[in-house]
Structure 1
């Protein structure tokens, strides 16, 4: 006698976990970290108990959801460190960080600690920031980066970049690229010929009440 194992409890659990992660990744990217666990469950078409069985806390879910993005951040910094010109490597990191964070509101918020992030996430973030600090030190030593730059300036940049609001992820990334270009010009150690900025992006103005 044979048994159909295509829908065994174990495979169903794996499918539920994948669906929860996919839904959470999209929800946090679009709406930030305030999306409730019950809303994640509703969108994933499972009960809240199923979500909590896989992820006992929201912090555990966030850690799993943002693992890929944190790895991408580390890869960007590694690319910057490997650049033969530390200043251009530093510029690359600023450009790519701003673009990446503009496309994912939840990850951007978690990276600058606007949510109580889990210890594993915080440790990975701190390692990444440490490598950026080393890249900044090299860029200063070669005369590209202004000597008064500190790591807190990068955090401030990312917090400001996270304020970009638009209904289109593509537009948000384009706006972030222009924002990064403006910032990089202000971070130069010495005045230089002004490079053309990326195209301007039409953004919605805030409503004044």
Structure 2
């Protein structure tokens, strides 16, 4: 009776090797995407990422079936840092200092990476589970602005959506080389914070409709 065919154990890689190989490909793709997203933004062709990683396009799509999944993987840690930063700044006993720290830190992160700036504004809104984080971020930011106004650190007509306006402006700056983008972002934040101080300045026009939900919807188009 003929014995069932079995694969030669000398040529069949063990399961642990397969898992290690898959993890290596995953890491190569994430690192390549991080580098290319940083300099070219998150719209860089996926085929370019695969070539930079030294793997086939099929391998890329097997690991990351959609661009959103790759964007989320690359920037998950930084976006998590933004959440933690907002919580710390919102809890700062000096709300004016907390707001300044928030704006300076996040815009600096934007200026250093075009990809992060795009991910922050959720150009691919499916990349991150935004429902709970968006509501919490909006709530915390409103609270921080209100406390800063109550403390006399912000003019009364400053609106929390002015922060989103600033993030959109820095997103445009992120297309410049990082050293230029960072210098310009810091100067822009300084201008905004100075203009936001209480005083006898003329009233501002009504705030733009830049709620987080609107930003995410528009950036996803």
Same fold (TM > 0.5) = yes
Distance 1:39 1:119, change over 3 A: closer
Partner of 1:11: 20
Give aligned pairs, total: 189
Name the Cα RMSD after superposition.
Answer: 2.4
Partner of 1:46: 55
Partner of 2:93: 84
C-alpha distance after superposition, 1:36-95 (max 9, x if no partner): 111111111111111111111101111111111111111221221232111111111111
Pairing 1:139–2:133 present:
no
Whole-angstrom distance in 2 between the partners of 1:5 and 1:177: 53
- Find the partner of 2:125 among 69, 94, 117: 117
> Which secondary structure state, in structure 1, belongs to the residue aligned with residue 172 of structure 2?
coil
Partner of 1:206: none
- Find the partner of 2:112 among 103, 106, 110: 103
Whole-angstrom distance in 1 between the partners of 2:145 and 2:75: 25
Whole-angstrom distance in 2 between the partners of 1:97 and 1:148: 23
Whole-angstrom distance in 2 between the partners of 1:57 and 1:148: 42
TM-score (norm 2): 0.77
Distance 1:125 1:23, change over 3 A: farther
Decide whether the 8 Å contact of 1:102 with 1:162 is kept in 2.
Answer: yes
Decide whether the 8 Å contact of 1:59 with 1:118 is kept in 2.
Answer: yes
More displaced 10-residue stretch of structure 1: 73-82 or 179-188: 73-82
Whole-angstrom distance in 2 between the partners of 1:122 and 1:141: 29
Whole-angstrom distance in 1 between the partners of 2:35 and 2:135: 25
Whole-angstrom distance in 2 between the partners of 1:32 and 1:119: 15
Partner of 1:29: 38
- How far 1:185 sits from its partner (Å)? 0.4
TM-score (norm 1): 0.81
More displaced 10-residue stretch of structure 1: 32-41 or 3-12: 3-12
C-alpha distance after superposition, 1:161-203 (max 9, x if no partner): 1222433x23322221122111110111237xxxxxxxxxxxx
Distance 1:11 1:73, change over 3 A: same
Whole-angstrom distance in 2 between the partners of 1:55 and 1:189: 49
Distance 1:60 1:188, change over 3 A: same
- Find the partner of 1:186 among 174, 195, 198: 195
More displaced 10-residue stretch of structure 1: 35-44 or 129-138: 129-138
Q: What stretches of structure 1 move > 6 A for 4+ residues in a row?
A: 1-7
- Higher radius of gyration, 1 or 2: 2
- How far 1:126 sits from its partner (Å)? 4.3
Partner of 2:137: 128
